[in-house]
Each structure stands twice: as structure tokens, then as C-alpha cells.
Amino acid sequence: MSKIRILSDQLASRIAAGEIVERPASAVKELLENSLDAGANRIDIQVEGDGTRLIRVIDNGTGMDHDDVLLCLERHATSKLREESELETVSTLGFRGEALPSIASVSRLVILSRLRGAAIGTRAEVQDGILRDVHETGCAYGTIIEVRNLFSNVPARRKFLKSKRTELAHIEEVIRSQSLAYAEISFSLLIDGRTVLDLPATSPEQRMRDAYRCLGTTLLDLQAEGEVIVKGWLILPEESRTAPLRICVNRRPVQDRLLRHAAAEGMQGLLMKGQQPAGVLLLELAPELADINVHPAKREIRFRQANVVCGAVAQAAQDTVQRHQERLRARFFTTPKKEEPRPQKKLVQQVDLPLIQAAEPEPKFQEQISPLFSPPPLSIPEEQTSRLVKQEYGKLRLIGQFAHLYLLCEMEEQLVIIDQHAAHERILYQQLKQNYEQHLASSQSLLFPVTVELGPEQASFLERKEEMLATLGIVVDFFGGSTWLIKALPALVAHLPAQEVLADVLNALLANLPDCIDKLFASLACKSAIKAGNRLQPQEMLALLEEMGSSKLFSHCPHGRPVLKNFSRQEIEKWFKRI
Ligand code: ADP
Ligand code: MG
């Protein structure tokens, strides 16, 4: 006699439930999806306890007639798919026809539904997968689904549930993230009779602000058209705290590491080390380009051309960052009139004097004028002299320097504070990077070449990478034995100790990581930039502002720290209790 038996539907449902209904929040997610697929424009969710006592979802969608109320409890019963071929292009949130029977197999489930236009509704009750009662009933158009005693017949699952707070937080997150892609629909969540979420129909941006309570946060909008439509908002890293990046693909919240990575790549330079991008990413693409049928709970997604999708996201994020810079530029600086090729650098003097190669001790007295700016002060073109007298650049009027670190400026009704080191660091980083990318790194010969001792491994690496070093603006020569000569350095960092620059470069190249060159530039820019504690002359501060105004990216240092911050007059008056 055969040992193999076909499982009863009831047992099969309970097994499937293990994958689909992991915790109360997963039941909420499935019910929410059904209400959205039913075209509801108002969905109210009520929860008691940690969600295992009661979950009730009330919608004003199409509703079901008597037969459908019974059918929807069967496994693989769905109104959303007919042909196999439709699986490729399915655009509803559900399609597997598994959620209701799965939930019903591990709870006491009541469905109350009335089809739009029908005279009467239907009530059905299922206990642990067995239909207990069906009858006609009066109810509003739409559907109410009640799930009680979730997992009461699966003690193992109950044991794996976390604290009430955690389970409720998961439920909230399900509703919030789903609501992002359905701003035109109202959602509410009541927990033990208390309103926790009240999200009226609104614009997508307002929905994000309402759902995540980020009313005053600066949102940088993403927008890209094409095969992949990218919408959404990025939060500036200094305002994001620990907010994650929430992603919806074709109106479905998903977790996707690749997309998060792509957004981070586009925001490069704005994110601090280890910091993740924050905000909301709403993607739309032809359903056949994405496969959501990877996981029973449909949390993960696979893209047919992942590189195209990621490329679109990275590009959109990068454009967003750039637009943000342009907005800030227009706000603080007037755009330069002429599009002349700009001289290589202004802040750091290219002096043809022997360069100091030994690491110098930090200046002891703060009063000491920055060695970067001596000798001679910047030569200021004549048309700028009047500006200098008034001490202004763009819309900023320079007030002075605070703590030998911050430039204080006035603009319209605002006080603008700029971190001189962070600002300069970003400018140098941009220049190093741009020169490198355009093969324009100008190198500066050292009047007295510097000798350096290299181990055999470093020496052979150096030989192999000579061309690469030249692209960076470094010229080295073999001297004899283990001694090498550094003859030229990149002009932008030529005032730094040559051995240190070479060591940085060798370390970066030896690491051979994808972002090693960026890291190298960030490190060189940091060493080379004006330091905290450097007192600046007004013309040097103005030159710094001018450099900022013409740098492609200036709002954050290469490590992601903000460069400038402004306080409105109103804010300041509040401090002084004037308003
Ligand atoms: P799926 O959503 O994958 O089709 P479900 O088990 O979640 O599977 O639901 C089965 C069917 O029940 C759906 O296809 C739909 O026709 C019907 N249904 C479920 N919930 C609702 C609802 N809130 N309003 C109207 N119809 C619903
Ligand atoms: Mg469903």
C-alpha cells in the first residue's frame, strides 16, 4: 500500500499559513492588500492586544456576494488571476489566493461583506479552518474581516511572537509603508480603542509627512521618467536621524538591498560613513519586468534587469542631490556670470618656493595666520574690489569668523554659518575628483625631490602603477637600492608632506576597493583643507565663499557632514523672546 498521502486542504492551509502569516502584522498586511485590491478608498483597521486578540479591517471596496464569501475561503481561490499567462503581468497586490484560507486556518475568522448594489450582505464564520456558519445579514457596502485568537491553535508560533510593543510596531509599519503608495486613500489604525494613525486622503508628499511624522523635514524630491519611473523623497542625512529608506515597487512595499545600495550610490558624498539613505522610493515599471512571486509573503522582488532599475535609482538620487545643490546655490550665491574655464585653485597658493616636506607641528597660537594663505594674499580682480569693501559674495554678506572655524554671514533675514574646514574639504575633493576623471590632474614639481624608502612589495607595486600615479599627478623615479624619489605631487596637495601623500596613495591603491580613489581624495582633501583654528582674512573668507559658489557640490563635506546651517531671524528672535 502506498505510504504517500495527499494532505487535507485544512492541513495544507495551516502549513501555508506558516509562511504567509508569520505574525499579526502579516495578517494585517494581507487584509489591507485585499481591501486595496477591492478598490476601497477608506480602510479602517482596529487591533486589540498585540494583534492576536483581534484584528478587524473595514473597507468600502467592491464587497463580495454570498458565493464569493464562501469561495474566498478556499485555497487557491482568487478573482485576480485567470490564465497562467496573467501571472507575468499581474498588477494587483494579491494573486496567490492563499491569504484568507491561511489566516482562517489559524484563527477564528468572520467575514461580513456586501456587494455594491446588493440588497443584503453575507456573514461567514470559520474556526481553525472549518466553516461554522453562513447567513445573510444587513451590513454596509464593502467588507469587514475580523480575525480573533490568531495562532491559538499554533502554540509554537505564539511563542515566537515578540513583545506587544514590537508586534504593534510591526503592524503600524505595515500600514504606514503601504499607505505611502496609496496617498489618495484614507487609512486609520485604532489600537485598543485609541487612534494611533489617522491618514486622510492627500498628496503623496503630505502622506509621507503624515505617515512618518516628518512635518518640518526637508524632503528632496526624486523624479525620473523612462522605463523605470522613479518618484519619492530623500531626507537630508543631517535630518534623517535613523529613518530608513522605504521602497515601494508598483505600489507594493518591498525590502531590497540592491535598490537601497543604488540610492546610497546616488547620494554619495552626502552620506556619512556607514550612513544609510533615508526617505521613500516609489518605483513604477511594467509588471513583467519585476517578479514578486519570489516569497509567499511577497516581501521580496526580483527584477528582470536589475542593473537598469538600480541605474535609474542611482541616477535619480544623484540628480536629486544635484538639484538640491542648485537650489542652495541660487539661494546663497549668485551664479557666476561668465562660463570661463576656472583656474585650478585659488585658495591654496601654488608657490614656487621649496616646499616644506617635514610634517610641521600644528600652529600653536590661534592668532597665527593660516600657513595655507601665506605668502602673498589672494590677488583679487579689480571688479571685485567693491564687493570686497562691502565684504559680500552672492547674497551673503560676511560678518566675520567665529572660533577661528566658522564663517558668519548674513543673508536677507537669515544668519548663515559655514564650517570653513568642511567647506574647503568639499571644494578640494571635488577638484581632485574632477581633475582625475578628466585626466587633468596638474602636478607640481618639487624643487627638492623627496626620497622615500620602499619595501620590495611596495616598489614593485609602484612600478606597475606608475601610469596611474601620473594620472593622479604624482611623479616618482627610482634612485637606487630601495630608495625612490618623489619628484612631483598633485598641485592641489603639493604643500602636504610628500611621503605622506605617497603613503596615502599607495595604501588606497593597494586596498583596491571600488571606492578607494574616492576615499583617497577625501583623505587628501581633509589633510589639505584649511583647518579649524586657522584665522582667515576677510578676502580669504570671501574667496572660500566664491569657491563654494562654483563647486558642483558644496553642501556637505566628503564624509557627509553638513557645511552650512542657517537660522532665520524669526528663530533668533524667539531665542530672545522678542516674538
Ligand atoms: P488573493 O488576494 O491572492 O486573491 P486572498 O485569499 O487574499 O487571495 O483573497 C481571496 C479572494 O477574496 C480575492 O481574490 C478577492 O476576490 C476576495 N476578497 C478578499 N478580501 C476582499 C475584500 N476586502 N473585498 C472584496 N473582495 C475580497
Ligand atoms: Mg489577498
Taking only the tens place, the pLDDT of each residue in 335-353 is 445 555 554 444 444 333 3
Q: Does the beta carbon of 62 sit less than 6 angstroms from any atom of ligand 1?
A: yes
- pLDDT-derived band of residue 48, with 50, 70 and 90 as boundaries? very high
Whether the CB-CB separation of 296 and 97 falls below 8 Å is answered with no
Whether the CB-CB separation of 301 and 290 falls below 8 Å is answered with yes
**Which 3 state secondary structure label does DSSP give 173?**
helix
Whether residue 389 is found in the same domain as residue 526: yes
Q: Encode burial over 83-108: b for 16+ CB neighbours within 10 A, e otherwise.
A: eeeeeeebebbbbbbbbbbbbbbbbb
Whether the CB-CB separation of 90 and 109 falls below 8 Å is answered with no
Cα–Cα distance, 80 to 84 (Å, whole number): 11
Cα–Cα distance, 325 to 321 (Å, whole number): 6
Amino acid letter for position 392 = E
- Measured in Å, residue 105 CA sits from the centre of ligand 2 at 15
Choose the residue to mutate in 41, 72, 106, 147 for probing ligand 1, maximizing ligand atoms within 8 Å of C-beta.
72
- Residue 199 has a CB neighbour count (10 Å cut-off) of 21
Which has the minimum average pLDDT: 17-21, 77-81, 204-208, 288-292? Answer: 17-21
Whether residue 514 is found in the same domain as residue 412: yes
Whether residue 260 is found in the same domain as residue 147: no
Cα–Cα distance, 165 to 171 (Å, whole number): 10
Please identify, among 141, 175, 199, the residue that sits at the C-terminal boundary of a domain: 199
Whether residue 154 is found in the same domain as residue 283: no
The answer as to whether 363 is a domain residue is no
524-538: average pLDDT:
93
- pLDDT-derived band of residue 381, with 50, 70 and 90 as boundaries? low
Per the structure, the complete domain to which residue 186 belongs is given by: 9-199
Q: Does the beta carbon of 167 sit less than 6 angstroms from any atom of ligand 1?
A: no
Higher pLDDT, 346 or 494: 494
Q: Does the beta carbon of 121 sit less than 6 angstroms from any atom of ligand 1?
A: no
Please give, one letter per residue, the 3-state secondary structure of 335-383.
Answer: CCCCCCCCCCCCCCCCCCCCCCCCCCCCCCCCCCECHHHCCCCCCCCHH
Q: Is the peptide bond before 375 cis (omega within 30 degrees of 0)?
A: yes
317-326: average pLDDT:
95
Q: Does the beta carbon of 73 sit less than 6 angstroms from any atom of ligand 1?
A: no
Choose the residue to mutate in 56, 78, 109, 293 for probing ligand 1, maximizing ligand atoms within 8 Å of C-beta.
78
237-261: average pLDDT:
91
Q: Does the beta carbon of 79 sit less than 6 angstroms from any atom of ligand 1?
A: yes
The answer as to whether 394 is a domain residue is yes
- Measured in Å, residue 70 CA sits from the centre of ligand 2 at 15
Q: Which atom number of ligand 1 is nearest to the Cα of residue 96?
A: 3
Higher pLDDT, 337 or 296: 296
pLDDT at 554 over 60: yes
Whether residue 217 is found in the same domain as residue 134: no
Cα–Cα distance, 525 to 10 (Å, whole number): 66
The answer as to whether 340 is a domain residue is no
Higher pLDDT, 579 or 357: 579
List beta partners, residue 49.
none
Cα–Cα distance, 112 to 432 (Å, whole number): 67
Q: Which atom number of ligand 1 is nearest to the Cα of residue 102?
A: 6
- Measured in Å, residue 126 CA sits from the centre of ligand 1 at 16
443-470: average pLDDT:
91
Residue 356, pLDDT score? 33
Instruction: State residue 235 phi and psi, 5-degree precision.
Output: -100, 135
Of 136, 316, 121, the C-alpha closest to 227 is 316
Whether residue 97 is found in the same domain as residue 240: no
**pLDDT over 90 percentage in the chain:** 67
Please identify, among 199, 219, 252, the residue that sits at the C-terminal boundary of a domain: 199
Please identify, among 199, 226, 258, the residue that sits at the C-terminal boundary of a domain: 199
The answer as to whether 375 is a domain residue is no
**Residue 82, CA atoms < 13 Å, CB-side half-sphere:** 0
CA distances from 319 to 60, 266, 307 (A): 40, 8, 18
Whether residue 18 is found in the same domain as residue 46: yes
CA distances from 301 to 22, 87, 180, 539 (A): 18, 14, 18, 55
Task: Kindly calculate the radius of gyration of the chain based on its CA atoms and give it in whole angstroms.
Answer: 32
pTM: 0.82
The answer as to whether 378 is a domain residue is no
| Share in percent of the chain as helix, strand, coil (round to 5) | 35, 25, 40
Whether residue 528 is found in the same domain as residue 452: yes
Whether residue 447 is found in the same domain as residue 465: yes
Q: Does the beta carbon of 541 sit less than 6 angstroms from any atom of ligand 1?
A: no
CA distances from 126 to 53, 133, 156, 159, 395 (A): 16, 7, 21, 23, 70
Domain with 84 in it: what CATH number? 3.30.565.10
Whether residue 40 is found in the same domain as residue 174: yes
The tally of domains found in the chain comes to 3
Domain with 250 in it: what CATH number? 3.30.230.10
Which has the minimum average pLDDT: 6-15, 473-482, 486-495? Answer: 6-15
**Which 3 state secondary structure label does DSSP give 260?**
helix
Q: Which atom number of ligand 1 is nearest to the Cα of residue 81?
A: 4
Q: Does the beta carbon of 39 sit less than 6 angstroms from any atom of ligand 1?
A: no
Whether residue 157 is found in the same domain as residue 208: no
- Measured in Å, residue 173 CA sits from the centre of ligand 2 at 18
Q: Does the beta carbon of 30 sit less than 6 angstroms from any atom of ligand 1?
A: yes
- Measured in Å, residue 72 CA sits from the centre of ligand 2 at 9
- Measured in Å, residue 13 CA sits from the centre of ligand 1 at 16
- pLDDT-derived band of residue 385, with 50, 70 and 90 as boundaries? low
Q: Which atom number of ligand 1 is nearest to the Cα of residue 57?
A: 23
pLDDT at 224 over 70: yes
Whether the CB-CB separation of 335 and 329 falls below 8 Å is answered with yes
pLDDT at 378 over 50: no
Q: Give ion ligand 2 contacts, CB < 5 A.
A: 34, 94, 99
Instruction: State residue 104 phi and psi, 5-degree precision.
Output: -65, -25
Whether residue 108 is found in the same domain as residue 213: no
In eight-state DSSP terms, residue 562 is B
Q: Does the beta carbon of 430 sit less than 6 angstroms from any atom of ligand 1?
A: no
Domain with 539 in it: what CATH number? 3.30.1540.20
Instruction: For 4-21, write each residue's pLDDT tens digit.
Output: 988 888 888 888 777 889
User: Which residues touch 278 (CB under 8 Å, ≥6 apart)?
Assistant: 234, 235, 237, 240, 243, 244, 245
pLDDT at 371 over 80: no
Q: Does the beta carbon of 96 sit less than 6 angstroms from any atom of ligand 1?
A: yes
The answer as to whether 242 is a domain residue is yes
Q: Does the beta carbon of 94 sit less than 6 angstroms from any atom of ligand 1?
A: yes
pLDDT at 231 over 90: yes
Of 239, 14, 289, 42, the C-alpha closest to 126 is 14
Residue nearest to atom 21 of ligand 1 (CA): 34
pLDDT at 373 over 50: no
Mean model confidence pLDDT for the chain:
88
Which has the minimum average pLDDT: 259-273, 314-328, 333-347, 427-441? Answer: 333-347
Residue 363, pLDDT score? 40
Residue 377, pLDDT score? 43
The answer as to whether 352 is a domain residue is no
371-377: average pLDDT:
41
228-248: average pLDDT:
91
Instruction: For 158-216, write each residue's pLDDT tens digit.
Output: 899 999 999 999 999 999 999 999 999 999 999 999 999 999 999 999 999 999 998 88
In eight-state DSSP terms, residue 493 is G
Choose the residue to mutate in 100, 107, 145, 147 for probing ligand 1, maximizing ligand atoms within 8 Å of C-beta.
100
The answer as to whether 509 is a domain residue is yes
- pLDDT-derived band of residue 293, with 50, 70 and 90 as boundaries? confident
pLDDT at 39 over 50: yes
Q: Which atom number of ligand 1 is nearest to the Cα of residue 93?
A: 2
Cα–Cα distance, 546 to 346 (Å, whole number): 10
